[in-house]
């Protein structure tokens, strides 16, 4: 099945991004299972008429809309786990969508997301194990362009719109990570132009000490040609505890060769509670090895203005991504050397880090 690509991207750039599998992570999802078919009636010969058996038909129970079809020779633990996740999420989507009228089965079966787990060790922070879970479902019966989301993620970065600006896989921890549960509804505003998109999200984060947030995202494709893409993004947000804030970002991508892509991204956030600008800037080189295998090299720096330590960390990292089990599971290795500092009274020192992660996408590949 052909991979879905954002048509606003140049063709060469899109093919490279998808082939590498390191930037457009939504395009790394697994193909959907086959459509649910009505099972053939079970026939058991119980009577005879002359010398010929006469079968008696016992129809099976009609399958539920979200039931998965288990294909012979594909009933291993990985497939079973993925199918169970898809089935649970599909049923939840049907239940939620049913409040607005007749539930849409096809939309429920297009629910998609990913489950991630990773282990990372560095000289500065020690070892850390991380689990992340993200799901997005469409709700056409409630309102066109409406969707729901739930996940276990860095809640602050999600609300501020920071997680989407970083290209290296996000399951590996950083200095400021604080993962927690979040959920809500999103609405994509209609647009007659492919160069401008906007959506609104309302939700809550954390199971204890719950915080409500509202987020309005804007994205503008400022320039594109056969080898370049320049995009701008703005995220306005509000929480009942931290008040108003905004995140601004600039992203530039350049195709060097059919296998090599360069990218530069910078982002900054200000809030009512912060005294300065929380910023991050990074440059990457992506090399596609084919078959969704890829190698990425990142050079980055991050910090906050008007802070006792204005530059919190800088360094470089390298990541390798490899598909497993016919691209149903993805393995990632990361290593790097950085210079972090959080205490102004302690001198900055270099820190080596290494990690390994697994990603299990689920849902339709083109969702």
Q: How many C-beta neighbours within 10 Å does residue 102 have? A: 9
| Nearest of 352, 319, 362, 357 to residue 131 by alpha carbon | 357
Ramachandran angles phi, psi of 147, nearest 5°:
-145, 165
Structure tokens that stand for 195 in this block: 């160069």
Ramachandran angles phi, psi of 366, nearest 5°:
-100, 15
Q: Give the tens place of pLDDT for each residue, 188-199.
A: 888 778 899 999
Task: Give yes or no for a contact between 91 and 105, defined as CB atoms under 8 angstroms apart.
Answer: no
d(CA 288, CA 22): 9
31 pLDDT higher than 50: no
Domains delineated in the chain: 70-362 (2.40.160.40)
Q: Give the tens place of pLDDT for each residue, 51-82.
A: 554 444 444 444 555 555 444 444 466 666 66
Task: Give yes or no for a contact between 297 and 318, defined as CB atoms under 8 angstroms apart.
Answer: yes
| Nearest of 5, 21, 17 to residue 253 by alpha carbon | 17
Q: How far is CA 134 from CA 154, 181, 202, in A?
A: 11, 10, 16
Q: How many residues does the chain have?
A: 367
Q: Is the pTM of this model over 0.95?
A: no
Which residue would you say has higher pLDDT here, 50 or 116? 116
321-338: average pLDDT:
89
d(CA 19, CA 204): 35
Which residues are CB-neighbours of 252 under 8 A, at least 6 positions away?
A: 228, 229, 230, 263, 264, 265
Q: Give the tens place of pLDDT for each residue, 208-262.
A: 888 999 999 999 999 999 999 999 999 999 998 889 999 999 999 999 999 999 9
Q: How many C-beta neighbours within 10 Å does residue 269 have? A: 22
Query: What HEC string does 2-15 produce?
Result: CCCCCCCCCHHHHH
d(CA 111, CA 361): 11
């Amino acid at each position: 099945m052909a991979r879905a690509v954002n048509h606003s991207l140049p063709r060469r750039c899109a093919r490279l991004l998808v082939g590498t599998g390191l930037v457009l992570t939504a395009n790394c999802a697994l193909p959907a299972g086959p459509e649910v078919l009505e099972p053939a009636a079970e026939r058991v010969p119980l009577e005879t008429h002359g010398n010929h058996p006469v079968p008696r038909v016992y129809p099976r129970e009609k399958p539920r809309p979200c039931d998965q079809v288990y294909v012979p020779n594909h009933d291993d633990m990985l497939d079973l786990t993925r199918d169970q996740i898809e089935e649970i999420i599909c049923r939840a989507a049907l239940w939620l969508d049913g409040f607005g009228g007749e539930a849409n089965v096809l939309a429920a079966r297009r629910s998609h997301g990913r489950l991630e787990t990773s282990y990372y060790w560095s000289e500065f922070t020690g070892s850390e194990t991380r689990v992340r879970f993200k799901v997005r479902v469409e709700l056409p019966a409630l309102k066109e362009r409406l969707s729901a989301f739930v996940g276990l993620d860095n809640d602050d970065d999600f609300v501020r719109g920071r997680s989407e600006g970083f290209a290296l896989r996000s399951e590996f921890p950083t200095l400021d990570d604080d993962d927690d549960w979040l959920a809500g509804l999103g609405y994509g505003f209609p647009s007659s132009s492919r160069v401008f998109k906007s959506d609104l999200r309302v939700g809550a984060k954390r199971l204890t000490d719950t915080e409500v947030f509202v987020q309005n995202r804007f994205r503008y494709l400022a320039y594109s040609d056969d080898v370049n893409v320049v995009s701008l993004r703005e995220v306005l947000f509000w929480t009942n505890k931290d008040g108003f804030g905004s995140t601004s970002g600039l992203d530039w991508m350049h195709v060097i060769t059919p296998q090599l892509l360069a990218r530069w991204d910078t982002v900054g956030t200000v809030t009512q509670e912060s005294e300065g600008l929380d910023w991050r800037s990074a440059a990457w080189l992506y090399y596609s090895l084919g078959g969704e295998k890829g190698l990425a090299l990142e050079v980055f720096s991050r910090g906050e203005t008007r802070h006792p330590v204005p530059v919190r960390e800088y360094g470089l990292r390298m990541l390798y991504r490899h598909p497993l089990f016919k691209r149903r599971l993805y393995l990632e290795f990361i290593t790097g050397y950085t210079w972090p500092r959080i205490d102004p009274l302690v001198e900055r020192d270099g820190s080596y880090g290494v990690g390994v992660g697994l990603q299990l996408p689920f849902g339709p590949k083109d969702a």
